[in-house]
Amino acid sequence: MRTITLETTLDWQAIAGIAEGAPLVLGEGAWDRIDHAARIVATLVKSGIRAYGVNTGVGALADTVVDRASQRRLSRNILMSHACGVGPLLAPREVRAIIAAQINNFAHGHSGVRPQIVRAMLALLDHDCVPDVPAKGSAGYLTHMAHIALVIIGEGTAHLAGRRMSGAEALAKIGIEPLVLEAKEGLSLVNGTSCSTGLGCIALARAGRLLEWADAIAAMTLEALGAQMPAFEEGVLALRRSKGIETTGRALRARLAGSGLIAANAGARTQDALSLRAIPHAHGAARDGFDFTADTVDRELASVTDNPAVSGTPEAPQVWSQAHAVAPALSQALDMLAVAIAQISAMSERRIDRLVNPLVSGLPAFLADDPGAGSGFMIAQYTAAALSNENRRLGLPASLDGGITSALQEDFLAHPTAAAVKLLAMLDNAEQIFAIELLAAAQALDLRSGHAPRARGTDVVYRALRAILPRYVDDRPLAQDMAAARNLLAGSTAPAVTDI
C-alpha cells in the first residue's frame, strides 16, 4: 500500500486506507504545529492561566482547580475513569481509523499534546498493535479513545500478531516505553470527534463499495425478470434532477447493454413494479446522501474538535473553552446515510421476493430445481426480510437520542459515535441482504439460460459469483453460500463493465 502523508489534513479515503494498513507519516509542517501547541500548553501550566482540563477538573468539575503538582495525575486519572466501555470489541480496522483520525486532529496544532504522544500512536499503527476497544458505552466520544490511550501508557490490553496481551507487554514488543502524560494530554487523548469520525470513514468506505454492488446486483435482477428499459433511458431520468439518479441510471444501462433477455421482454408490460422501476431513484438518493455524508466527514477531519483549543504563541498563549467536541452535523449526516442504506436494502428484499415468487417471476417456485422436494431460496428471503426489518428499527436517528450527563454540565448530546456504530451494524445487514439478492439473481439467470443471452455487463458479475459458488440445488446448507457471497461483497469491488 502507498504511504499516506499528513501535511494539513486527511480526508475520509485516507483514513479508510490507513485503517486497512496503509502507512501514515507526518509532514514537517504537521510536526511543527504539534510542537508549537505543546509549548503553548507548557506556558499555560507555568503561568497558571486557568484552562479547562489543564489546571481544572473536567465535565461538571470544570471549576475545580487542580494544583500543578496534581496535573500529571489528572491526565492519567482521566484515562482510568473514562475507559469504561462495554460489549464486543471494535474491529481492528475501526480502531486503526480512530487512531488515524486522532492523529489528524492533533496535527491541526490546537490540542497541545507533545510530539511523543503522536509518535506513540503512529507506532501502534506501524506495528498493527490494536488496542482492545469495547464498542459500547459512549454518549459522544471519550470511552473508546480512553481505551486506546491506555495502551500508550502501558495499561489496558491490545492485540498484536493475533495475540491478546497487556498494554505494557505490547509496548515492549514494539520497542517503546510507556508514556507519562503531562498536563492536558489525558483530556486531549479522550476528547474530540475522532472516534465518530474514524468510524464514519469506515462506514463510508463500506457504503461506497456497497452502492457499486447494489447497482450491479439490481441490474442482474432486472435482466432475470425481463425489465422494461424505457424507464431508465437517459432523457427520462434527466427529468428528475439528481446526480445520484444519473449515476445509477448510467450504471444500469451499461450493465444491461446488449442483453438478449431484456430484448426478448421489450414491451411485455406497460411498467414494472416500483422495486424495479424506482432503482435509480432509491439508489440515486443513497448516492446523493453518501456524497453529503462524505463532505460532512471531510469537514470534520479538517476541523479542530478538541476542547479546550490552544492558540497564539508560547509568549502570548490563548486558550478557548468551546463546544467543538460536539458534532450534531456529523451525527445527522451519519443518520441520514443509515436511512438511505436501510431503504435500499429494503428495496433489495422486495426484489428478492419477486425473484422467488412464482406468481410474478415466471420462474420455478423459489428458484428451486425441483420445487416441492426442494425449497430453494424460500427461507433465504425470510432472512432478508428479517434483516431488512432490523435495519428499519436501527434506522431511528441516534442524533435525537436524549441523555443528560456530568451533573447537568453536559445536558445536550449529539450522539455521533452511536450514529456511526449503528450505521456499521446496518451495513452488516445490508451487505447480507444484497448478497442474498446476488445469489437469487444468479440462480434466476441460470434458469433463464436457454432463453436468450445475458448482457456482458451482468455476466461479469455472474461469473465472479460462480467462480466461488456453483448453482444451488438444495445440496448444501444455504447459509454457507450466503456467507461466501457476503464476503465477496464486503471484500472486493463490483466487477466493472470494462473488466469484460
Residues 110/37, Cβ–Cβ less than 8 Å: yes
Chain centroid offset of residue 137 CA: 18
C-alpha to C-alpha distances, 216 to 107, 185, 211, 418, nearest whole angstrom: 40, 48, 9, 31
492, 216 Cβ separation under 8 angstroms: no
Residue 50, CB half-sphere, CA atoms under 13 Å: how many?
8
d(CA 440, CA 323): 49
Between the alpha carbon of residue 307 and those of residues 105, 197, 340, the distances in Å are: 12, 16, 32
Cell of 25: 507519516
Number of alpha carbons in the 13 Å side-chain half-sphere of residue 399 = 18
Q: How far apart are CA 276 and CA 265, in angstroms?
A: 14
Q: Would you call 52 a catalytic residue per the annotation?
A: yes
Strand partners, 309: 320
Catalytic residue among 52, 141, 462, 472: 52
**Can you tell me the distance from the alpha carbon of 158 to that of 134, in angstroms, rounded to the nearest whole number?**
12
Active site residues: 52
